[in-house]
Amino acid sequence: MYARLPQRLASRASVWKLSRTSRDIRFRPFSAQSPRPSSSVLSPSSRKPPSTPQPSHTLVKTRHYADKIVKVPQMAESITEGTLKQFSKQVGDYVEQDEEIATIETDKIDVSVNAPDSGTIKEFLVQEEDTVTVGQDLLKMELGGEPSGSKEEKAESEPKEPASEKQGTSSQPSGGKEQEAGEKKSEPKEEKSAPKEEKKPQPSKPSPPPQEKKPEPKKDTGSEELGSREERRVKMNRMRLRIAERLKQSQNTAAALTTFNEVDMSSLMEFRKLYKDEVLKKTGIKLGFMSAFSRACILAMKDIPAVNASIEGANGGDTIVYRDYVDISVAVATEKGLVTPVVRNAESLDVVGIEKAIADLGRKARDNKLTIEDMAGGTFTISNGGVFGSLYGTPIINLPQTAVLGLHAIKDKPVAINGKVEIRPMMYLALTYDHRLLDGREAVTFLVKIKEYIEDPRRMLLG
């Protein structure tokens, strides 16, 4: 009985063989003819990692990014539309977050449209020079990282360094060198063959004397030739249209009248000469004349508060608004037109503080970085046409303000000082005021106060 036991075990088909895969362990039957697994099969040293089954197809991973519509941003409470001046990018360009992609021109300033997220521009939904409103769809962009192809294109587009002369000569094909050598060899042959072709010189005939050319008579065209008479028609930008509208509105609304005076600038120029270097060293501010005139106006308003007031109400206005603060609008000329940024609460600033505020606003205006908040409001305006050489002028009131002070160029003039004629630097001052609110007595008194403060700056310390 025990002798037949090995045969029975060998003939059994239910003997299991241990096999391993990459993920599980399972048993499978083996036939009697298959050799039995030895201990070496199960030893760690002899185990072979199972082969990973290869898929019958290739998987391609694709990423789908969401599209985003960029809309016209909020510009200001009083501005609801503008003109799309230009797109800073093109379709297919990749932009970073907060990168400028378009510029919208409004009545007062240019508004930049920045990318809300990083992505690629897919489509423009409006055209340049179109009128757009706040919240309108501007363009479509695909969010996501920069495409790999664009990086390669950028690398290819970078200019390569020009090859040196030595590299250029060495890189020429050998045929070119042989051709040059052949040309050099052919030159002496031509020189040798030249004597054979020489002929005896023929006697030269005397050349006839040159005849003087008579000037041709001018053709009678009937009229003299004129210069170019071309004409160009350019559409006015929004800022220029708004300036024209506001100035015409001021002329039609205010009962404007201008009074003049002449001021001796000697004392103020001496004051500036003494302290401008010290102020520049301490604060980095260049001391000018605008701050002194602003301070003089603020002090004069204490005696004539109506200059800082305005008229409000329907049908031309029936209410006078008096203010305890002074917001001075400073007229600044830019390439696109005249803008008037505002120095807030100028009554609380000293001369250096006013000068710094004016310098900052002027820099922002020249760099086209003024915001709506920089130009909103204003209770009194100062316009300095003297920087352009203006000798005399009548500024226009900036509604709803009541008055505007015009400064002009400084010129040396003979004036009577204590019964003697002296040459002094003189400037004309012009005050245009709304006669509906200011009478002539108040306007002239206000201008004389400014004259006194400028001719003796020490008075401003007592104000």
Give the residue numbers annotated as catalytic, written as ranges.
Answer: 435, 439
The DSSP result for 48-60, as a single string, is -PPPPPPPSS---
Per-residue b/e over 75-111, b at no fewer than 16 CB within 10 Å? bbeebeebbbbebbbeeeebbeeeeebbbbbbbbbbb
User: Burial of 296 by CB count in 10 Å (0-12 exposed, 13-18 middle, 19+ buried)?
Assistant: buried
Token pair of 21 as six digits: 């895969």
Q: What whole-number distance in Å separates Cα of residue 240 and Cα of residue 169?
A: 60
Sequence-distant (6+) residues with CB within 8 A of 96 are 115, 118
Contact between 380 and 328 (Cβ < 8 Å): yes
> CA 296 → CA 268, 332, 457, distances in Å?
12, 20, 9
**Using CB atoms within 10 A of its CB, is residue 381 exposed (0-12), middle (13-18) or buried (19+)?**
buried
3-state secondary structure of 188: helix
Q: Record the tokens describing residue 432, joined without a space.
A: 């245009």
CB 65 within 8 A of CB 141: no
